[in-house]
Amino acid sequence: MKPWMIYGANGYTGTLIAAAAAAAGMHPLLAGRDRETVGPLAQRLGLGKRIFPLLGQRSIAASLEGMDLVLNCAGPFSATAAPLLEACLANGAHYLDISGEIDSFAHCHAQHERAQAADIVVLPGVGFDVVPTDCVALMLKHMLPRADELILAIEGGGGMSPGTARTSLEGARNGGRARMRGQLQPVPLAWKTRGFTRDGQTRLAVTIPWGDLYTAWVSTGIANIETYMVLPPRAIATLKRMRWLRPLLGFKPVTRYLLARIARDVSGPDAETRARSRSHVWGEARSADGSVARIELDAPNGYALTVDAALAIVQRMLLQPPASGYWTPAQWLGAEFVLDLPGVQRIATAA
């Protein structure tokens, strides 16, 4: 297999992916900025390592020397995607990441022509966000080609990793968003709430600025998109209160305090929690004539699905990549790709 790198291998999700890759007989080079955590992980898994911070484009590019592909697992991706992608463009290495951040997707998409010129593939979002939801969006587009409205919702379960918590903090600072008439528009945090049915029970969900607001639009061309997450009522109430507290999140002392709390209190779900918790995806498409199409997926825990999806995509990319340029997962691999992943089932389809 061609040489490839996991950057941010010492993070919560990066460690899961690195361990699964080693167990599958793959040999990624593990990389990150923290020698004290990357080194022992590489030694434990019997893999090579490379320590470097994302400082100075020439230095980053030199650190990617010899790599055919880089899988970026270091969030927030608002800080890491651009410098790593720039180095991949300079080195001729494919760029993948597990981002769920709207602006990161937009930046990657904007490099499409540069990626074509460099003969590389740029494929962000190879994890829980956005693989299952991107596939559901394209399934719905196939079912209802004239759809002009798309609703996507997820229920994760199992809790957040530190990286996801930091990204959520950044998202709260930026406020909510939705896609309207083809354009991303700012909306209040917790703009809308809605119920989704699972196992005969209603789950309350709230709008969140999920990455599918960008990727589902690229994959389907649907002009109006809303994305939801199932949350406890108290968490939804907290999000609504955050509308008034958003200005405080712009102050560095407040941000430092909250990041310190995340570092202290958030560790991510353990193996037992990941094994017993599952995720769920709802998708709904509507057209102007009143037609509706719906799909639901039941899937493993989001972190487990991220590991399976990311490694499956890495393997395919190293064996036979698509044409160079920017791709979404469903664009390249097709709407049914998610159904090939372990434990994923389409449990309901209605038109």
What's the pLDDT tens digit per position in 271-320? 787 788 899 999 999 999 999 999 999 999 999 999 999 999 999 999 99
**pLDDT tens digits along 65-108:** 999 999 999 988 999 999 999 999 999 999 999 999 999 999 99
pLDDT at 233: 87
Q: Are residues 248 and 142 in the same domain?
A: yes
- Structure tokens belonging to residue 128: 């829980």
Q: Are residues 37 and 107 in the same domain?
A: yes
pLDDT band at 267, cuts 50/70/90? low
- Residue environment code for 283-299, b if the CB has 16+ CB neighbours within 10 A, otherwise e: bbbbeeeeeebbbbbbb
Q: Is the pTM of this model over 0.75?
A: yes
Q: Are residues 61 and 169 in the same domain?
A: no
Q: Are residues 189 and 292 in the same domain?
A: yes
Q: What percent of the chain has pLDDT over 90?
A: 76
The CATH code of the domain that includes 9 is 3.40.50.720
| Cα distance between the two ends of the chain | 43
Look over the chain and give the mean of its residue pLDDT values, rounded to a whole number. 90
pLDDT at 168: 61
pLDDT at 175: 81
**In the predicted structure, residue 259 carries a pLDDT above the cut 60:** no
d(CA 50, CA 61): 13
Q: How many domains does the chain have?
A: 2
DSSP state string for 36-76: HHHHHHHHHHT--EEE--S--HHHHHHHTTT-SEEEE--S-
Q: Are residues 135 and 84 in the same domain?
A: no
Q: Are residues 281 and 140 in the same domain?
A: yes
Q: Are residues 49 and 168 in the same domain?
A: no
**pLDDT tens digits along 154-205:** 998 666 555 565 556 566 667 899 999 999 999 998 899 999 999 889 999 9
Question: Where in the sequence is the domain holding 235, given as residue range(s)?
Answer: 131-301+339-350
Say if CB 96 and CB 125 are below 8 A apart.
Answer: no
Which of these, 293, 323, 304, lies nearest to 141 by C-alpha position?
293
Burial class (CB within 10 angstroms; exposed 0-12, middle 13-18, buried 19+) of 253 = exposed
Q: Are residues 233 and 343 in the same domain?
A: yes
> Which position has the higher pLDDT, 351 or 336?
336
Q: Are residues 35 and 143 in the same domain?
A: no
Q: Are residues 274 and 327 in the same domain?
A: no
The CATH code of the domain that includes 149 is 3.30.360.10
Q: Are residues 211 and 309 in the same domain?
A: no
Q: Are residues 150 and 50 in the same domain?
A: no
